[in-house]
């Protein structure tokens, strides 16, 4: 098996309203990559959020009393905390510098995925602007997939990823937050292992594994390569959504 991941260099800085599909196709052309059946395109959340206009100027945010209280406990900007509350279902943990939440999309993450890094807006310094996650990453991934398939004439997968921490290890890793056309989880229960033992537990978080691999290529700072082309994904493409990857609350040992 060979799995090939290729960044698309020279990708432009994205602004609200920019057409990601046009930019992706142009970047593929510059890289000499022709889309083939079963290819996958992995996009950093930031370019999707920027194209969809999910930038917020903190000068426009009026924090509630509860946001001010949580800001004092977490040592964060009350305006950012207000946005965290708007983007979350539940506050799970508070520590200086971090608020752990159940995001309205269903997953657990820090600060509702709201980001200052590599974010800038018109007429203000970079630190006055923050970026929210896409409104509906699964929908965004499917929309991009439909248009890319129409342009290329082949069946593709699209994955939108973000960087998340983990309860039991240090360091952030890329994880899937929007999926279209590839499996979130591959269930190997009932299949034999190398010695004929029937697997009873093993379910592979295939979308997250690919997200982590693509995140290595993208980088986390000033690399400017927010789209990765993937060829050789070892599982068959199929329809799925982020829900496949979300552990039910009654099985979550860290809450």
CA 131 to centroid of chain Cα atoms: 13
Domain with CATH 3.30.1330.100 in the chain: 4-47+135-245
Decide: helix, strand or coil at residue 213: helix
Neighbours of 127 (CB within 10 A): 11
Tokens of 138: 């699964």
pLDDT, the chain, mean: 91
pLDDT at 29: 95
Q: Note the pLDDT of residue 117.
A: 58
Rounded to whole angstroms, the Cα distance separating 171 from 189 reads: 30
Report yes or no: 20 and 52 within 8 Å, Cβ to Cβ: no
Euclidean distance between CA atoms 247 and 180, whole angstroms: 19
| Fold observed for domain 4-47+135-245 | 60s Ribosomal Protein L30; Chain: A; (3.30.1330)
- Measuring CA to CA, which residue among 10, 16, 215, 9 is closest to residue 131? 16
CA distances from 80 to 71, 114, 129, 182 (A): 8, 8, 10, 34
pLDDT digits (tens, 9 = 90+) for 93-119: 999 999 999 999 999 999 999 987 556
- Tell me where in the chain the CATH 3.90.1660.10 domain(s) lie: 55-131
Q: Where are the beta strands (DSSP E) in 147-212?
A: 157-166, 169-180, 186-187, 203-204
pLDDT greater than 80 at residue 121: no
- Widest Cα–Cα separation across the chain: 64
- Report the CATH fold assignment for 55-131: CofE-like fold (3.90.1660)
> Which residue in the block uniquely carries the two structure tokens 């946005």?
83
Per-residue pLDDT tens over the stretch 42-59? 999 999 999 999 999 999
CA atoms of 68 and 80, how far apart (whole Å): 10
Evaluate whether 237 touches 154 at the Cβ level (below 8 Å).
no
On whether the pTM is more than 0.85, the answer is yes
């Amino acid at each position: 098996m060979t799995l090939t991941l290729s960044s698309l260099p020279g990708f432009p800085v994205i602004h609200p309203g920019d057409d990601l599909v046009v930019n992706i196709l142009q970047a593929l052309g510059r890289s000499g990559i022709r889309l083939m059946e079963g290819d996958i395109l992995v996009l950093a959340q930031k370019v999707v959020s920027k194209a969809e206009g999910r930038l917020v100027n903190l000068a426009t945010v009026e924090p509630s009393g509860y946001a001010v209280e949580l800001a004092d406990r977490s040592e964060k900007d009350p305006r950012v905390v207000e946005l965290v509350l708007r983007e979350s279902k539940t506050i799970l943990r508070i520590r200086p510098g971090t608020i752990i939440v159940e995001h309205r999309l269903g997953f657990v993450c820090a600060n509702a995925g709201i980001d200052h890094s590599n974010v800038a807006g018109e007429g203000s310094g970079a630190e006055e602007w923050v970026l929210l996650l896409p409104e509906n990453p699964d929908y965004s991934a499917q929309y991009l997939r439909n248009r890319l398939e129409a342009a290329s004439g082949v069946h593709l997968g699209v994955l939108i990823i973000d960087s998340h921490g983990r309860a039991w290890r240090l360091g952030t890793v890329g994880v899937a937050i929007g999926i279209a056309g590839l499996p979130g989880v591959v269930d190997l229960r009932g299949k034999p292992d190398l010695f004929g033992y029937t697997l009873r537990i093993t379910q592979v978080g295939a979308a997250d594994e690919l997200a982590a691999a693509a995140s290595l290529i993208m980088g986390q700072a000033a690399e400017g390569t927010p789209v990765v082309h993937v060829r050789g994904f070892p599982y068959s493409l199929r329809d799925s959504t982020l829900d496949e990857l979300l552990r039910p609350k009654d099985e979550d040992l860290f809450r």
